[in-house]
Amino acid sequence: MQFIYSIGTYFAGFILKIVALFNTKIKLGVDGRKRTFKILEQQLEPTDKTIWFHCASLGEYEQGLPVFEKLREHFNKHKIVLSFFSPSGFEIRKNTTIADIVVYLPLDTKTNAKRFINLLHPELTVFVKYDIWPNYLNLLKKKNAHTILISAIFRPKQIYFKFYGNLFRKALFTFNHIFVQYESSKKLLESIGYNDVTISGDTRYDRVSNQLNKNNTLDFIERFKSNKLSVVIGSSWPEDELLFTNFINNKHYPEVKYIIAPHNIKTSQINNFISKTNTKSILFSEMENKPLEEYNVFIIDTIGYLSKIYSYADIAYVGGAMGTTGLHNTLEPAVFGIPILIGSNHKKFPEAQALINNGGMFSIKNQSQFNKALIKLLKNSDYRKKLGSKNLEFVKKNSGAVIQILDYLRI
């Protein structure tokens, strides 16, 4: 199995280089990995004390952030190295203050793992959710480096629980401790003999709860909203935006303000929405010296504001589940005590089903269901507040994962 894995890893590297010739995102990762060792050699000394955080992509980074923040605070004399595998994580968070050094993780060959670990020599390594790399983890184990996995989710169909998954199964045993989100994951680990496991829940609840302690004021949103009902559409895709185009064009509640933060800030997608929506729309990039209160739709064609914008919402719609791209973060709006609408393709997102079961979020399949649900929320303030309070209480109830992880690390 080790031989097959090694051959597969080298082959994957070769294929990525070819694909990079035609794909900008893949090229970012390929080129970024070439620079990793040079960056580490320039910025690390053999005498440095280090902590290593690894995330597959942006979602895992956001999930691990509340833990990273506490570790950064505690290990203030260590150098923190943060690695990503995906460009969608690295390119957005390459300047984060949570780490001293941010790099792409080189492919998991034995040579790369040896060079990477020897340069880092981490005292503590934190992997988030998944992205299990056998060569890196085996070497950490040999060097007695303390390694934990947080916010993990395991399912029976994963390779760890298959007869042919011995290499990856052994990789799990290199972790000193694994913190899982659900009891079902704990039972799966115990079924293969791994018992150093704690059900801590999802650190994202702690992450979004921290948002309540921050200053969420945005003057431009206040001017746009001008004390009227507002609906925030977060991380939308064209199929999500079509629902609102039809709703707005049918003159449903024309006084309502809509704030849209597209997942992909593509000019063609934004222009298509504006051209088909019969109302006054304005872009964030064009708002300077404009009377924002006179517009009905505000399109946020930049990143970094959505978590604060949700604090101004009376109702939130979270994109991704009307199509097949994957539901985006529903906990971000939930913490502000507002009702939420999503599409119907959310089976891979257990927190979404939990919010639905709790009564504060609705899943819709089509335009008719969308119109009915949104109209009911818009016309009844008591109903909105009741559903929203359920979401806030749910987030509060499920927070606390970070405390358990820090207790284990005796911090």
Predicted model pTM: 0.85
Closest CA to 146 of 380, 332, 336, 411: 411
What is the CATH topology of the domain spanning 36-201? Rossmann fold (3.40.50)
Matching CATH topology for 36-201 and 216-397? yes
The ranges assigned to domains in the chain are 36-201, 216-397
Task: State percent of the chain over pLDDT 90.
Answer: 91
Which residues are tagged catalytic?
A: 60
Q: How far is CA 215 from CA 105, 206, 218, 308, in A?
A: 34, 17, 9, 8
Residue with tokens 């199509």: 323
119-174 pLDDT, tens per residue?
Answer: 999 999 999 998 899 999 999 999 999 999 999 999 999 999 999 999 999 999 99
Question: DSSP string of 213-257?
Answer: TS----HHHHHHHTTS-EEEEEEE-HHHHHHHHHHHHTTSSTT-E
What is the CATH topology of the domain spanning 216-397? Rossmann fold (3.40.50)
Within 13 Å and on the Cβ side, how many CA atoms surround 70?
18
129-144 pLDDT, tens per residue?
Answer: 988 999 999 999 999 9
Q: What pLDDT shows up at residue 194?
A: 98
Structure tokens at 355: 């919010």
Q: What pLDDT shows up at residue 304?
A: 87
Q: What pLDDT shows up at residue 257?
A: 97
Q: What pLDDT shows up at residue 293?
A: 96
State the amino acid at position 240 in one-letter form. D
Closest CA to 378 of 244, 282, 261: 244
d(CA 264, CA 326): 13
Q: Are 64 and 149 in contact (CB under 8 A)?
A: no
Task: Kindly state the average pLDDT of the residues 355-383.
Answer: 97
Task: State percent of the chain over pLDDT 70.
Answer: 100
Please state, as a whole number, how many other Cβ atoms lie within 10 Å of the Cβ of residue 135.
Answer: 23
Band (2; pLDDT cuts 50, 70, 90): confident
Band (256; pLDDT cuts 50, 70, 90): very high
- Dihedral-angle region of residue 144 (phi above 0 means left; psi in -120 to 50 means alpha; beta otherwise): left
Is the per-residue pLDDT at 3 higher than 90?
no
Mean residue pLDDT of the chain comes to: 95
Structure tokens at 68: 């990273």
Q: What pLDDT shows up at residue 254?
A: 87
